[in-house]
Structure 1
Amino acid sequence: MTDYARVERAALCDDFLRLGPDAPTLCDGWTAADLAAHLVVRERRPDGAIGIVLPAAAGHTQKLMDKLKSGDWPGLVQKVRSGPPKWSPTAIPAVDEKVNLLEFFVHHEDLLRGDPSTWTPRELSPDLADAVWAGLAGMAALSLRSVPVGVVAAPDRLGRRNLHSPKDGHGSVVLTGPLADIVLVLFGRPRTDAVTVDGADADVATFEGLKLGM
């Protein structure tokens, strides 16, 4: 079984080196260096990873990221490339696939799309697309847990899947378009014109007014 989390990690690191530390990303205010530092802290510093989800600890997380950014760029990229430490559960390939595939896939797209003038959609291999599609339901459950409308994903050539059931009398919206673009919407990135949101006007308006993210 291929560990596509490792495939995306390696591809992201190759593009880090190709584009450089100052390359823009879709993550608000972050350069490639910020993104790489975030990934290292998330994976190697549990004390800093807390600040990713708890604002009260964000200052400590930022200090750790700043220290990493002040060092050698190829060295920082190598820290990302070398993967999790042996003590981490994600050092186990099956755990890595569940926890990190979507993380690295989304951040790879964040980097590639950071400069719209140079970005072109990448062609996903069928196996990678299947792996991302298979992992999307579980990860989307976190992003959509408090969303009142139902959400159905229908990416090109991959079929249709209910990701979240409606609540409180709401209906569902259907997201169609390229898989990568749908995944980015569910991870809180701005919706591109490639993604169509269909449903009752009120449900579409509710969905588009939400702030998603994981």
Structure 2
Amino acid sequence: MISHNDFYDQNDKMYVATDCIIFGFDEGKLKLLIFKRRVEPRSGEWSLVGSFVKLEEDVAQAAKRVLAEITGLENVFMEQLRTYGAADRDPGYRCISIAQYSLIRIDDSDKHLVEKHGAHWYDIDQKPALVLDHDQMVADAMESLKRKARYQPIGFELLPEKFTIPQLQQLYEAIYQKELDARNFRKKVLSHNVLIKLDEKDKSSSRRGAFLYRFDHKTYQKLIKAGYNFEIS
């Protein structure tokens, strides 16, 4: 019989990493948080925010720690995307990476914080090439975000408490990375009955103004429990 220690010792070792794909919504655009890799190989090249998982850490805990250490951002809810395990994905050593992703609203304090730590927000359509398989991770996270957006009214926390339909459309266009027909979008989003129309108007973009709305969380939760799908596009 092989002893416990012998069984573990005779097998190959590898590292486990976690990479954080943090999308941000700012001024109507979708952005990606990246930094310049600080270790060899390929030090100085653009990278997702990531590092190794420590032995005593859960992967989710490691992702939060790594994000805070590299960018200063804390209390960011991340969702697991998938595991990347190609044998040659990291020329430094055999390593698998468990990717996590999130979509957050970028405020001025976030901008200053990440820049202070040496990280940067890039428009998603202007980002530089990333190291290793990080471009594939970003592409996969974008597809996951788009699928989720088709069936859930995601992103309302990225808007002000009171917002206009055009502002909401701008958010979905940023996620889908394409223009949406304004009339069809308005019709679909209002048909789900999760927006409460207010008596106030936003007149910042026109003299006539656009009515403000707010998200009805209670109705949304009831519909979700009933299995309702919120297809937007």
TM-score (normalised: structure 2): 0.27
**Bigger fraction of residues in helix:** 1
TM-score (normalised: structure 1): 0.29
Higher radius of gyration, 1 or 2? 2
**Bigger fraction of residues in strand:** 2
